[in-house]
Chains A and B, each alone.
Chain A
Amino acid sequence: MSIVAMLDEARAARRQKTLIAFNAATLRLGGKTIIENLDLEVRPGEFLCIVGASGCGKTTALRLAAGLYRPTSGAVTFDGEPITEPRREVAIVFQDYGKALLPWRTAAGNISLALEASRVPARERGARIEALLRKVGLPGHADKYPSEMSGGMQQRLQIARCLAQEPTTLLMDEPFGALDAMTRQGLQDEVLSLTHASQTTVIFVTHDLDEAIYLGDRVVGLLPHPGRIGIELDVDLPRPRDQLATREHPEFLRLRRQLFDFIKATEH
């Protein structure tokens, strides 16, 4: 076998590797089957978007991946091991940023919480916090309390705290759902550049089909009652994505149409 072929094979193998895997995962809560026989594999470095009608189990699937729930049967694994508890290398960005921040700590203090948990020495924290605030576009807001910040700023702060965990994987549950369109687009591009630079694996839950296609390498649509996979689309759009050009791309429009029809059919 030639060296080139071997390298190709190695690269293919790496691409085939899975980081997070749902194997026939089923979750029952309160006597109700919320997720049934979910099979899903997420590759390292992949940006996977999950869409679906309200109540179909998107949040629940994400919480399984986070280790906040354990499957009733089947398995959810991270790097081959069953996920039993949340781990520091997997950061969760909650939709309700207002509830996920400590109101009694300033922006710097909230980021510091993650650094303290990772046992970063006190004298290193200041510089790290400053760098993180700059990274998410909040320089100079270190001493503000969350209640003094807009929704977009609070969500940036939550993302900064998650980045402070130095995660290899980000789980994001409708992170921009409560934000206005302009803020939303800005944050979409920031998340893309932040995660692309560090090769972070992302599972991104959203209601917004356009957002899913714009961000994702792959989009999975869930069917409700119980939650299971209904559609899986590879997104072959050039990166870096561009708010205007990408959204006008014929492939974007084709995928959008396909997803739209799928969601329409699930909602009868």
Chain B
Amino acid sequence: MNRAAILWRVASILVAAGLIAAWQLAANLRLVSPVFLPGPDRAWAALVRGFSSGDLAGKLIGTLEHMAYGWLAASIAGIALGALIGSSKMMRAYVAPSLEFLRPLPVSAIIPVAIAMLGLTRGMALFVIAFGAIWPIVLATIHGFAAVEPRLYEVARSLQMSRAAIIGKIALPSALPDILAGMRLSLTVALILSVVCEILAGLDGLGQWVLLSARAFRSADLFAGVILLGATGYLTSIAMSLVEQRLLAWQTAAR
């Protein structure tokens, strides 16, 4: 890491520390009633208590599971669908308009439909999460496949590569930067929808924890859940960028 990067890191830690200090100050001065706003001290204590004597770890695992299953399903289906559409000009011409219609539909509009069809079940939750998280991946994959250098397809033809080999060795790796960017966007979507579905369907997870804490006016527990959600989003996104860096090492090789 160079000097500038270290400075940025220090600065960002200072900003975070400043925000926490301001939060503590606001709580101490009782700018907001402690029933609604606990200080970071109380939130932290609730977090520790939740893990040591409560069920917070189980809720965290529940949310991580919903997020992971939904996101993985979205990734697999999204890449397959995107590859199918993106690798053929005809498909792009025929299917793209329907996609443009479906894509801007807010997922919240799908939720009642999903509940009506699947009930308040885990299956409904996974469907909604996957449905919401699939779009960034599908669109990124279509874009990545459409942007493959045509010369490379000619190279593949002159080597008489099979269709599977062309997709696996040329199109997918070429589209990978786009696909990973789409998957990163979807990660956040999947987390949000996991929480929403847990709240709606009462599934085991942080969403349910947050909801129950709020109903019981246990604001410290509520904040502990929110902090955990923030940390989940942050850490999964960091993990994703590490994977990206590894898989796309060739992009930075010369620069």
Determine how close the nearest CB of chain B comes to the CB of A75; give it in whole angstroms.
Answer: 20
**Closest residue of chain B to A87, judged by CB?**
B160
Query: By the criterion CB–CB under 8 Å, are B151 and A94 in contact?
Result: yes
Query: By the criterion CB–CB under 8 Å, are A99 and B152 in contact?
Result: yes
Of A110-118, A223-231, A245-253, A254-262, the one touching chain B: A110-118
Within 8 A of B (CB), among A76-119: 85-88, 90-92, 94, 96, 99-100, 102-105, 113-114, 116-118
Query: By the criterion CB–CB under 8 Å, are B151 and A100 in contact?
Result: yes
Q: Which residues of chain B come closer than 8 Å to A85, judged between CB atoms?
A: 157, 160
B254 within 8 A of A: yes
A104 to B251, alpha carbons, bound, how many Å? 7
- Most chain-B CB neighbours within 10 Å: which of A90, A92, A103, A165? A103
A147 within 8 A of B: yes
Determine how close the nearest CB of chain A comes to the CB of B174; give it in whole angstroms.
Answer: 7
**Closest residue of chain A to B254, judged by CB?**
A147
**Closest residue of chain A to B170, judged by CB?**
A102
B25 within 8 A of A: no
A148 within 8 A of B: yes
Query: By the criterion CB–CB under 8 Å, are B253 and A68 in contact?
Result: no
Within 8 A of A (CB), among B150-193: 151-152, 154-155, 157-161, 165, 169-170, 173-174, 176
A61 within 8 A of B: no
**Closest residue of chain B to A167, judged by CB?**
B158
Q: Which residues of chain A come closer than 8 Å to B173, judged between CB atoms?
A: 102, 104
Q: Which residues of chain A come closer than 8 Å to B154, judged between CB atoms?
A: 68, 86, 92, 94, 100
Interface range, B side: 20 to 34
Q: Which residues of chain A come closer than 8 Å to B161, judged between CB atoms?
A: 117
Q: Which residues of chain A come closer than 8 Å to B255, judged between CB atoms?
A: 147
**Closest residue of chain B to A171, judged by CB?**
B158
Q: Which residues of chain B come closer than 8 Å to A68, judged between CB atoms?
A: 154, 157-158
Interface size of A by CB at 8 A reads 26
Contact of B159 among A88, A94, A148 (CB under 8 A): A88
A148 to B255, alpha carbons, bound, how many Å? 9
**Closest residue of chain B to A114, judged by CB?**
B159
Q: Which residues of chain B come closer than 8 Å to A165, judged between CB atoms?
A: 158-159
Query: By the criterion CB–CB under 8 Å, are B174 and A66 in contact?
Result: no
B65 within 8 A of A: no
A145 to B248, alpha carbons, bound, how many Å? 12
- Most chain-B CB neighbours within 10 Å: which of A68, A92, A100, A104? A104
- Most chain-B CB neighbours within 10 Å: which of A86, A105, A116, A148? A86
Determine how close the nearest CB of chain A comes to the CB of B156; give it in whole angstroms.
Answer: 8
Query: By the criterion CB–CB under 8 Å, are B174 and A104 in contact?
Result: yes
Query: By the criterion CB–CB under 8 Å, are B157 and A117 in contact?
Result: no
Query: By the criterion CB–CB under 8 Å, are A145 and B254 in contact?
Result: yes
Q: Which residues of chain A come closer than 8 Å to B160, judged between CB atoms?
A: 85-88, 117
- On whether A117 and B165 interact (CB within 8 A), knowing A91-B158, A103-B250, the answer reads yes
Query: By the criterion CB–CB under 8 Å, are B158 and A90 in contact?
Result: yes
**Further 10 A-B residue pairs, CB within 8 A, beyond A85-B157, A165-B159:** A86-B154, A86-B160, A87-B160, A100-B152, A104-B174, A104-B176, A104-B248, A104-B251, A113-B169, A165-B158
Q: Top 7 A-B pairs ranked by shortest CB distance?
A: A147-B254, A117-B159, A86-B158, A99-B151, A145-B253, A104-B250, A148-B254
24 inter-chain pairs at a CB distance below 8 angstroms, sorted by A residue, are: A66-B158, A68-B154, A68-B157, A86-B160, A88-B159, A91-B158, A92-B154, A92-B155, A92-B158, A96-B151, A100-B152, A100-B155, A102-B152, A102-B174, A104-B173, A104-B251, A114-B159, A116-B165, A117-B161, A145-B250, A147-B253, A147-B254, A147-B255, A148-B253
